[in-house]
A and B are shown apart, each in its own frame.
Chain A
């Protein structure tokens, strides 16, 4: 047993070229820290006799540095207060212990001159390394290994024990349980919902292609989803819809893929015009998650299935990432989209799908026709009508004002819009309410 440590140290230090501290040694061999200190010393001595200067030790010195203060800590040096001020002004002088780590070269000096220490109470080897340590901070590298190796009872290593320690037994299970279900259930719905917006994007883009930056890509696109953005770019299909994060790269893809189908889809109930869903993120707190009930989820799942069929591309790879987002994104569709600047919502209510009714709120989608103005290549303003889906929630208080970023697209396209919008947006939401504007807009 006695020579085990020599073997270990020889291997670690000489062969593997690592620094070994007493703590590491005590963990590795499961010995008391004080024994480990002695082992280090012994090994150092033994090795140095064989071949000097192959090892470099650091020492820990503990004591009082030269000052009138004695070792006894309980002595209060109030008397000397006047004579010497070393700390804050007007402070009492107190005994100061110094815990130092020094290289072996320096140790010699310190011990011989005793210039710095008035009394040294402890001295031991702290570590042995194959090279002189330029930076002692390197010794901290061992701390992780120490933690890994600290498997035995702390008593073994000589740590001071505390019989009074209190630790609570916590059921970690409930926490995990609480977290787990969410990702499972929620992930899919979000995908669907995000899909909706994508649909509309293509529709608009058809027309807007000419413009340098399609107005259709709503400003909120700048919004987060940092994690997903990369993947989205890579894949086509549903992923593109999320384009919010990276609108530009996607544009071409979406248009190409969807142009042909776009018109048809607009009529199809599958597509929705809820561009604004993205925008919700900004203004609406994510309160909706809890309210989500089973029927809503079910409905969304169905929708998603349909969507999938329609989109040729498979989006499987994206699913996992979405899960992360899902929590965030989900609430969006529960809130009514704020009125869209670019799309004059002249609303018809041809169809309406109520997907859930919870807590006095009706939620769902309805089909709307919006008017949109864009600038074509020649710089003319062109007004087009498009149909799309918009999700709504009945009991909503006044819709949040359109997020400022959206204003930009407008500028490009048409000025007149802004004034009229907010009201219309609100009106469109009230399902049963006939809006005179919407009447006019149709014809």
Chain B
């Protein structure tokens, strides 16, 4: 036990009776943007094709500009690369470049046309299986409003491509009518706003604006007092369950940690800097719901109404979650994104979880008609906002999970990076990621580059900073599912530096 003395926060001592300092939590500057809010009176009559059209018209100019910059003077074998306006304008044997939407033709991918032609009208259950086949049977095609051409070439193996992303490719059409790709350009990162672009900094003259996370090394050398900066805690996949209590203690410890009751006075002082909690999806566990269904399927078959057996509903998970929230809310503001398992609509963009789910916590939500954000802000998934001046884009993870199915790798951060470079945070919607059929706007197109891009419910933690050509820098964070990993992520709100906390028992 000799080391005990070296532990600064050792509370193994007699009660001192000393009055403890009262700790106050750092304030959080917060401004949600409602980029993904759907109208309450939304219609589902429209077709999905408009989304692709909108996306193409929005992103095409950008990608064409980048492509023409890159390939303007490209001459291969005495032949200059010419721009083909449309996919159909490509002439066999001519070196040209063209832009369009990628379509992945994969055997294992659900195909709506096939379903319709075979008269199948029940949507297949979602699975986590990959669409990607290792045998090279997957085909990449590029299409625009005029037609579709198959892309071939080794270059394609070096990039991530999924259905719905907009790219420009350069190459020649070969004898088989396929385009041999020599080079490929993404739209790349959209312009990034300055910090505090839409919200006001509380201390505008405090110091020069930090440009982005890439500057954090300089930032650290600042002799700014440590207590002055806040942190953002991010957690996902809390997985509250009615019966499975295997991680109930960890949830309790998380609560104590965030409340600042655990640990010692010094550590607690650091905890008081956590100015906001973001819950990125899957707060409620799904497993048990399925189990219950199987058990009672026969018994209750005769009590079903509208195909739903209300008597099998177990409110306990949401009650526990509500209790958890209501315990935290007096001390910390919370942004709550729905995830695949949460009680919100299933299609992207998921709309906020209704506050009625949280009888104890809903007093902290914004009143229905107000424009102000609530202390407990139940938001959409994906969600955009500004936290402490940083532009933040967060999702519950479905967009990346779906891209994951298209590619052979497990590099989630690479996929997140790709979505930024595609300027589309959910390219696979509406093909394989269920989405609302937008008519006037494709909100998944990224117009502004976030500083912080977080994706919840991922199998493991990961973070990285990516850079753009115009000096953009994006901090990517794959937030692991708490249920599986017992980890939460802390982001420094000055530097966007990341650390994580792992909770273990036993």
- Given known contacts A2-B15, A38-B13, A42-B15, A162 and B503 CB-to-CB distance under 8 angstroms: no
Q: How far is the CB of B334 from chain A (nearest CB, A)?
A: 11
Q: Which residues of A contact B28 (CB under 8 A)?
A: 164
Interface residue A18 (Cβ < 8 Å from any Cβ of B): no
Please measure, in the bound complex, the distance between the C-alpha atom of A356 and the C-alpha atom of B492, giving whole angstroms: 67
Residues 65-78 of A, flagged 1 when their CB comes within 8 A of B and 0 if not, give 00000000111101
Please measure, in the bound complex, the distance between the C-alpha atom of A103 and the C-alpha atom of B505, giving whole angstroms: 9
Interface residue B266 (Cβ < 8 Å from any Cβ of A): yes
Q: How far is the CB of B230 from chain A (nearest CB, A)?
A: 12
Q: State whether A41 touches B13 (Cβ < 8 A).
A: yes
- Given known contacts A23-B261, A60-B263, A94-B499, A124 and B12 CB-to-CB distance under 8 angstroms: yes
- Given known contacts A160-B23, A160-B259, A123 and B463 CB-to-CB distance under 8 angstroms: no
Please measure, in the bound complex, the distance between the C-alpha atom of A88 and the C-alpha atom of B487, giving whole angstroms: 13
Please measure, in the bound complex, the distance between the C-alpha atom of A74 and the C-alpha atom of B310, giving whole angstroms: 50
Interface residue A122 (Cβ < 8 Å from any Cβ of B): yes
Query: Which of B283-291, B343-351, B406-414, B434-442 forms part of the interface with chain A?
Result: B406-414
Residues 25-54 of A, flagged 1 when their CB comes within 8 A of B and 0 if not, give 010000011110111011000000000000
How many residues of chain B get a CB closer than 8 Å to chain A's CBs? 95
- Residues facing A in B228-287 (CB within 8 A) are 245-246, 248-249, 252-253, 256-257, 259-268, 271-272
Interface residue B216 (Cβ < 8 Å from any Cβ of A): yes
Interface residue B227 (Cβ < 8 Å from any Cβ of A): no
Chain A residue at smallest Cβ distance from B332: A162
Q: State whether B20 touches A87 (Cβ < 8 A).
A: no
Q: Which residues of A contact B310 (CB under 8 A)?
A: 224, 226
Please measure, in the bound complex, the distance between the C-alpha atom of A95 and the C-alpha atom of B270, giving whole angstroms: 15
Q: Which residues of B contact A101 (CB under 8 A)?
A: 249, 253, 504-506
Q: State whether B261 touches A91 (Cβ < 8 A).
A: no
Q: State whether A88 touches B9 (Cβ < 8 A).
A: no
How many residues of chain A get a CB closer than 8 Å to chain B's CBs? 75
Q: State whether B302 touches A222 (Cβ < 8 A).
A: yes
Contact of B260 among A95, A158, A164 (CB under 8 A): A158
Q: State whether A165 touches B329 (Cβ < 8 A).
A: yes
Q: State whether B411 touches A89 (Cβ < 8 A).
A: yes
- Residues facing A in B453-481 (CB within 8 A) are 458, 460-465, 478
- Residues facing B in A62-117 (CB within 8 A) are 62, 73-76, 78, 87-92, 94-103, 108, 111-112, 114
Interface residue B3 (Cβ < 8 Å from any Cβ of A): yes
Q: Which residues of B contact A37 (CB under 8 A)?
A: 11
- Given known contacts A35-B20, A136-B506, A224 and B304 CB-to-CB distance under 8 angstroms: yes
Q: State whether A88 touches B367 (Cβ < 8 A).
A: no
Contact of A23 among B19, B245, B256 (CB under 8 A): B256
Q: Which residues of B contact A91 (CB under 8 A)?
A: 413, 461-464, 478
Q: Which residues of B contact A90 (CB under 8 A)?
A: 411, 413-414, 462, 464
Q: State whether B500 touches A170 (Cβ < 8 A).
A: no
Chain A residue at smallest Cβ distance from B461: A87
Q: State whether B331 touches A162 (Cβ < 8 A).
A: yes
Interface residue A361 (Cβ < 8 Å from any Cβ of B): no
Q: State whether B22 touches A94 (Cβ < 8 A).
A: no
Q: State whether A114 touches B504 (Cβ < 8 A).
A: no
Interface residue A415 (Cβ < 8 Å from any Cβ of B): no
Contact of B502 among A23, A96, A223 (CB under 8 A): A96
Interface residue B116 (Cβ < 8 Å from any Cβ of A): no
Q: Which residues of A contact B300 (CB under 8 A)?
A: 226
Q: Which residues of A contact B140 (CB under 8 A)?
A: none
Please measure, in the bound complex, the distance between the C-alpha atom of A95 and the C-alpha atom of B490, giving whole angstroms: 10
- Given known contacts A88-B412, A160-B271, A167-B375, A94 and B463 CB-to-CB distance under 8 angstroms: yes
A-B contact pairs, 15 of them (CB 8 A): A32-B20, A91-B413, A98-B504, A102-B505, A111-B3, A112-B3, A121-B264, A122-B264, A137-B245, A159-B331, A160-B24, A162-B25, A168-B365, A170-B363, A281-B305
Given contacts A99-B262, A137-B249, A168-B366, 10 further A-B contacts (CB under 8 A): A32-B20, A33-B261, A34-B11, A88-B413, A90-B411, A96-B500, A159-B259, A165-B364, A166-B374, A245-B303
